[in-house]
Amino acid sequence: MTDDGHLRPEAVAPAAGPPLLVETFARGQVTDLRHSFAACAEAAGLRDQRLDDFVLAVNELITNAVRHGGGAGRLRLWRVGATLVCEVSDGGGGIGAERLASNERPTPDTAGGWGLWLAGQLSDSMVVTSGPAGTTVEITTALDGAGRVADPAGAGERAE
């Protein structure tokens, strides 16, 4: 922990279960990492639309790390029972409190702000820890699809 009470990405508690993938990355490695991540998630049992959604969510997080988080980051993927957990961390300056407090969909004319929102929509849960030493985002998805419920408005699925 830093003196300001925020967790540094490298100070996050170790994941339960053996890691399926642990990679550091920088600009120019996003595409290769996305392919490695997709192969690991599929080998762990994630399939079909849930696989596509989780890969897209992680792609948004790693892209944010290189664009807004200092140009590099670290990805960890592990399985806890029937759940896949992915953590993406960076050493950037953090995300502002106002941005973190908003769960609203960005307006269509907004140039930025879609990545974090989209990652939250495409995963079953999302926890963001951010401060001056960096940001860590942890997202989960149930391998059996039990973590999602139908959207009552009929717009697809939503995280519960």
Give the three-state DSSP class for 71.
coil
Tell whether the model's pLDDT for residue 146 goes beyond 70.
yes
pLDDT in tens, 120-144: 999 999 999 999 999 999 999 999 8
Q: Is residue 63 part of a domain?
A: yes
Q: Is residue 11 part of a domain?
A: no
Q: Is residue 33 part of a domain?
A: yes
**Percentages helix, strand, coil for the chain, rounded to the nearest 5?**
30, 30, 40
Number of domains into which the chain is organized: 1
pLDDT at 148: 61
pLDDT at 62: 97
Q: What is the CATH number of the domain that holds 42?
A: 3.30.565.10
Sign, CA dihedral 112-115-116-118, equals positive
The residues, ordered by sequence, that sit 6+ positions from 29 with a Cβ below 8 Å of its Cβ are none
pLDDT at 16: 66
Q: How far apart are CA 90 and CA 111, in angstroms?
A: 22
pLDDT in tens, 28-56: 999 999 999 999 999 999 999 999 999 99
pLDDT at 105: 80
Q: Is residue 59 part of a domain?
A: yes
In terms of residue numbers, what domain contains 30? 19-149
Q: Is residue 13 part of a domain?
A: no
Q: Is residue 137 part of a domain?
A: yes
Q: Is residue 87 part of a domain?
A: yes
Contact yes or no for 124/148 (Cβ under 8 A): yes
What is the rounded average pLDDT for all residues in the chain?
Answer: 83
Q: Is residue 14 part of a domain?
A: no
Strand-strand pairing, 83-90 and 19-26: unpaired
List of E strands, the chain: 19-26, 72-80, 83-90, 125-131, 134-142, 148-150, 157-159
